[in-house]
Amino acid sequence: MSDLDGKNGLVVGVANKRSLAWAIAQAADAAGARLTLSYANERFGENTRKLAASLSRPAQLVGCDLSRDEEIESLFQAVEGEHGGLDFLVHGVAFASREAISEPFTQTTRADFQQALDISAYSLVALARGAAPLMERRGGGSILTLTYLGSDRVFPNYNVMGVAKAALEASVRYLAADLGPRNIRVNAVSAGPIKTLAAAGISGFSRILQHYRESAPLRRTVDAAEVADAAAFLLAPGSRAVTGEVFMVDAGYHATGM
Ligand code: NAD
């Protein structure tokens, strides 16, 4: 593949080799893109530096805590300095406190609710606002986030993260409407369950995986590379007429009733 040849991309949310953001970075690299990788804080900096060394083109690395507006501003200054303009942005970020996803949903505190929606949904809006002027310089762009079916249906222990994903998916549609006239597309990939650091916080996650193996039309779960291939399509010109979409990559699980 080389349909991202000469394109500049920002990939936010690399924590380790299992991160979906990292799988997408690898797919974008293989498709020819030049990348900036962003990680939450120095705890993930070392990992990200090691991973980035395996890419075929040197990547810019920037730490950015998405709960801080000034760090988001610095991130885009760094991207502008490195690339000038931006063709795509990948948002692979979510956070909810351990309590918020283990206690009964009714017990969700105001602070945990606000934090989950801030990091997991509002951050897409903030990043889209920063990316848009850099994308305009390139004649348009593609913004992609990652979501889960827990936005629409109840899964055990997903709790406030389901509410955050509902807000995220609605944000995809509103951003698509806002930015479409500037030829900037906004989409989400809704991935089936995959064991990552974020997933490790959800107790009973293995049971969800098993349920997909038994019930999904393809009788299996999905892997990060499969999510990344779908993501690469949504980032590339082949999907130039697709925006405001939540694209299911879940072995067909979403289509089942029982
Ligand atoms: P992950 O833990 O590797 O990625 C989550 C990322 O969010 C990490 O890099 C983490 O550092 C980052 N993050 C958290 N708080 C942050 C903050 N304040 N500032 C900046 N970054 C912050 O796990 P993942 O599974 O790759 O998750 C990536 C995305 O994919 C998430 O939105 C997740 O909800 C979504 N998703 C995951 C699955 C799954 O089963 N793993 C399924 C569907 C969707």
Tens digit of each residue's pLDDT (9 = 90 or more) over 90-148: 999 999 999 999 999 999 999 999 999 999 999 999 999 999 999 999 999 999 999 99
Instruction: Tell me phi and psi for residue 143, to 5 degrees.
Output: -115, 135
pTM of the model: 0.98
**Domain positions in the chain:** 8-248
CATH class of 8-248: alpha beta
Distance 119 CA to ligand 1 centre (A): 10
Q: Which residues contact 174 (CB under 8 A, 6 or more apart)?
A: none
Distance 146 CA to ligand 1 centre (A): 8
CB of 67 closer than 6 angstroms to any ligand 1 atom = yes
In this predicted model, what pLDDT tens digit does every residue of 153-206 receive, in sequence order?
Answer: 999 999 999 999 999 999 999 999 999 999 999 999 999 999 999 998 898 999
Q: Which residues contact 19 (CB under 8 A, 6 or more apart)?
A: 13, 92, 196, 197
